Amino acid sequence: MIEHILGKELQRTMEKVLVLDFGGQYNQLIARRVRECNVYCEVWPYTKTLEEIKAYEPMGIIFTGGPNSVYEETSPHYEKAIFDMGVPILGICYGSQLMAYTLGGEVKTAPVSEYGHTDVEVDTSDVLFEGVSEKTVCWMSHTDYIAKAPEGFKVTAHTPVCPVAAMSNPERKLYATQFHPEVVHTKEGMQMLKNFVMKVCGCHGDWKMDSFVETTIKALREKIGDGKVLCALSGGVDSSVAAVLLSKAVGKQLTCVFVDHGLLRKNEGDEVEAVFGPEGPYELNFIRVNAQERYYAKLKGVTEPEEKRKIIGEEFIRVFEEEARKIGAVDFLVQGTIYPDVIESGLGKSAVIKSHHNVGGLPDVVNFKEIIEPLRMLFKDEVRKAGLELGIPENLVFRQPFPGPGLGIRIIGEVTAEKVRIVQDADCIYREEIAKAGVDKGLGQYFAALTNMRSVGVMGDFRTYDYAVVLRAVCTSDFMTAESAQIPWEVLNKVTNRIVNEVKGVNRVLYDCTGKPPATIEFE
C-alpha cells in the first residue's frame, strides 16, 4: 500500500476510493479510471477484513467483476456488515450480483447471456446516470443476472433480456451496474464513474502529480536519512523517474548501477550513460556494468519464458550484490516497479499473467536492508506525469516502454548473441521508420520481436532458410488493455523491405494484429 512510501499521515488526509477485487479481468482498469478523476485508488483482495477497510477510511468502495456465480458456496463473498458502514459502494458485474444476493435479492442463470456492446436504457434522474444519454451503449459480459432487486432498491437501467442492468438505493448510497463502466466500450462509462466518485462519494479530486512528487521526495529523505542507496537503473521510464526522485531526495548518497545485460535496444547502453553518467545533469554516482557474456552464458539452451525471466532477474540481483560489496555497505535497493507490474506478477488475487524480474522474479535472498519502490502504486501514464514534474526531458519521459528482462522476452526460444543482433537491428529500423512517418505519437508501444520460426525464402538467385520477425504496435492509455494499431500499409511495406534487405538472417516480416486481452503486449 501507499503508506510504505508516503506515510500514514498523508493516507489519513487524502481522498481515497478502494476497489475490492473479486477476481475479474478489469480490476486495475477500474482503479485507473478512478485516478483519472484525480482521486487516489488502490485495489485490495476481497480477503481483507472489514476492520482493515474501516482503518483505511475510504470515501467509497467499488466491488469488481469476477468469473464466479454468487449462489455457489465456493464463490467469494463478503460480510453483510460492509453495506452498513455508511460508505458509498458501487458493485460492477459480479459485484452487482453480490450486492443483490447479499441484501436479499435474487440472482439466477440468465435465460440469455449477454456479451459485448449492448444498448442499455437508463434512468437519467438517478445520480449515477446524470449527464448520460437515456439509451447508451455499454459493455456486457455475464451469464448470471439479477432477477429481482433487493428491497429498498430501484431499477435504474435495463436491456430487453436483462431486467436489472443497474439498481440503486440512494438512502444507503449503494449502486450497482451489471455492465462494465470502466472499459472504453461503454461509451459513457467514464461519466458514470465520475458521478459515483464525485457526486456520491463526495470527492473533490486532490490526487495530483505535483503533490506526489513533493511528498515522495520528502518521505524518501526522511526514510533514508544518511543511508546509502543503490538504484537498479535500466534507462527506461520507470527506473529513470525512480532514480531522479532519489537523486533529488539524497543526492550523492545514491549510486545508480546500470547493468548492460546485452538485451537492450540498439545503442541504448551508450544513451543511458550519456544521460545519467558523469556528464549528465543529475547529482548521483553512476556505475555501468557490461555483463553481456555473463547473461548469454546463463541463458544458453533456455527456451521457457518464465525460466528466462527468473534467470535474468536473479542474475540482475546478483550483479547488484557484487557492486554493493565493492562500494561498501548499502542500506536500500531502489527499483522502478509500477502498479501493473505488481498486479500482473500475481501478488493480488488476480491470475498470474507473467512474472517481472523486479517483482515476482526476485530471488529469495536479497542482501540489502530494504527495498524501496517509490513508483509502486503508479500507472505508466502517472509515472510519465511525475517525470515531467521532476523536469526530466520529454524524450526520456515518453520513451518506449521496455520490459525489465529486455529482449530476452522479445526473442522466442533460446537467446543468443546472434538473435539479439537480429532483433536489435530490426527494431531500430522499425522505430526509425515509424518516427519518420509521424505515426508514433498515437501509439502506446511498438517494437520488433524475433520468432523461433524459420522458413524458406528466395533472395536473388539463392534459396534462404531464415527467421521471421514480428512487428507489434498497440494503442493504449493504461497498458492494462490495448488494441492493435492500424499502421499504414506503405509504412509497413517500407519497414519490411528494409528489414529483409538490411538485417542478415531474416527473410520474412509479420504484423501482429492481436489486442490485449487475449494477448499480452509483450510476446513472452
Which positions are annotated as active-site residues? 93, 180, 182
- The DSSP symbol for 122 reads E
Sign of torsion over alpha carbons 376, 377, 382, 387 = negative
How far apart CA 236 and CA 506 sit, in angstroms, is 28
Contacts of residue 384, Cβ cutoff 8 Å, sequence gap at least 6: 237, 397, 398
Beta bridge pairs of residue 516: 482
How far apart CA 246 and CA 382 sit, in angstroms, is 17
DSSP string, 161-196: S-TTSEEEEGGGTEEEESS-TTSTTSTTHHHHHHII
Question: Pairing state of beta strands 154-158 and 166-169?
Answer: antiparallel
The CA–CA distances, whole Å, from 61 to 43, 76, 149 equal: 10, 17, 20
Evaluate the omega torsion of the peptide bond into residue 517 and state whether it is cis, within 30 degrees of 0. yes
The grid coordinates of residue 217 equal 521526495
Contacts of residue 253, Cβ cutoff 8 Å, sequence gap at least 6: 224, 226, 227, 228, 229
Beta bridge pairs of residue 288: 258
